[in-house]
Amino acid sequence: MRDGKIHIHIENSRSSVEVFIAKQKHVDDLLLRNPDLADKLCITIGSSAYDEIERWTEADFEEYYGYMKTADIMVGYSFPTKDIASYAPNLRWIHFISSGVEHITPFTWVPKGLTLINNRGVHLPKSGESFATYLGMLNAALPRMMTAQRNHKWDRVFTTVIRGKKLVIFGVGSQGGEMARRAKEMGLYVVGVDPYVKEQKYCDKVVGIDKMREEFADADFLGITAPLTKETEGIISREKLGWLPERAGVINVSRGPLLDEAALDEMLRAGKLSGAVLDVFHTEPLPEDSPLWKTPNLVITPHVSSDDLVHYIPRTLDLTIENLRNELAGRPLKNIVDISKEF
């Protein structure tokens, strides 16, 4: 804190999509929502050309370092990590505008005393709504009907209501818990699979990974919502997909590398699964030559399920201010990233 104010710097990327770009109006509205802090804050907005640091221009670095000299808090996604303690000597915490932080690992660059915060929870209203939509699509056999439409085929598929069917959610943290809540509203029986969480308010039960095969065996739907870590990478493997019955549908709204895409592709083509909706992929954007573009009974959404065009940045900044109030009151910060984990 210098000049009696708390300096918050927001770093945008001009190559990013609109939903992730903070504008001056966002800041003005934030201050109107927090009038008691308005004269205590100095909020700056910078913008670099790209997320990839190696593509930054000299002007990008010069502007960024200038802002960071006095920054107490930074909000952003990608930034130079080398010598951060030197170029940002007053920085106390960084608020990532994403839930996932694997893009900035390993955390060897994090100096002592610097806290990392992720955006967990900001996505929930939109991601929960999307997940409910995807469940409805799978239950109505829409992926199969869309495949039939592309093939000019009159394929009459009769289905039944979703109430009473079984959903298994892999990963019942913040996002998985919201998915469970939405599913319960739809009348599903919900089982969580999680190595750390023992119970979840909206799950009928939560089991460990050792019970995964048993729960997969009679599942109607599998939802993948766990974060990407060294432990979860590739965890929904060919073998585990094979534990699901042929009627099952798969949804991945977490991170692509949790799921064996090639195995899913083969199983959908062979009719060993009924359908799938994928919002995330190993490589993004999905390459033009990916076989997934032509996989039958698969709906592809381009990593848009959780990002609200209108509310994402306001909710992100609200979380920043909530944590600032926590800090000023001596309360713990929300969404602290455990940098001891291997992401």
Say if 6-122+308-328 and 124-300 have the same CATH topology: yes
**Annotated catalytic residue: which of 7, 182, 303, 315?**
303
Sequence-distant (≥ 6) Cβ neighbours of residue 40 within 8 angstroms: 4, 5, 6
User: Does the annotation mark 9 as catalytic?
Assistant: no
The CATH number of the structural domain formed by 6-122+308-328 is 3.40.50.720
Compute the distance between CA of residue 154 and CA of residue 136 in angstroms, rounded to an integer: 21
Residue range 124-300 in CATH 3.30.70.3270: no
Structure tokens at 31: 């201050």
Count Cβ neighbours within 10 Å for each residue of 302-341 and write b for 16 or more, e otherwise. Answer: ebebbbbeeebbbbbbebbbebbeebeeeeebebebebee
> Rounded distance, CA 222 to CA 250, Å?
5
Q: Where are the domains of the chain?
A: 6-122+308-328, 124-300
Distance CA 57, CA 159 (A): 55
Does the pTM exceed 0.85?
yes
Closest by CA position to 75, among listed 94, 51, 88, 61: 94
- pLDDT per residue as tens, the chain (343 positions): 567 899 999 999 988 999 999 999 999 999 999 999 999 999 999 999 888 899 999 999 999 999 999 999 999 999 999 999 999 999 999 999 999 999 999 999 999 999 999 999 999 999 999 999 999 999 999 999 999 999 999 999 999 999 999 999 999 999 999 999 999 999 999 999 999 999 999 999 999 999 999 999 999 999 999 999 999 999 999 999 999 999 999 999 999 999 999 999 999 999 999 999 999 999 999 999 999 999 999 999 999 999 999 999 999 999 999 999 999 999 999 999 999 876 6
Partner residues linked to 6 by β-bridges: 41
Q: Which amino acid is at 295?
A: T
- 76 in Cβ contact with 38 (< 8 Å): no
Q: Which residue bears the tokens 């959903």?
A: 167
3-state secondary structure of 256: helix
| Residue tagged active-site, from 214, 239, 246, 284 | 284
- Asked if 183 and 203 count as a contact pair (C-beta separation under 8 A), the reply is no
255 is catalytic: yes
SS3 250: strand
Structure confidence at residue 49 (pLDDT)? 83
**Measured distance CA(245)–CA(54) in Å, rounded:** 46
Instruction: Please say if 95 is a catalytic residue.
Output: no
The answer for 107, left when phi > 0, alpha when psi is -120 to 50, beta otherwise, is alpha
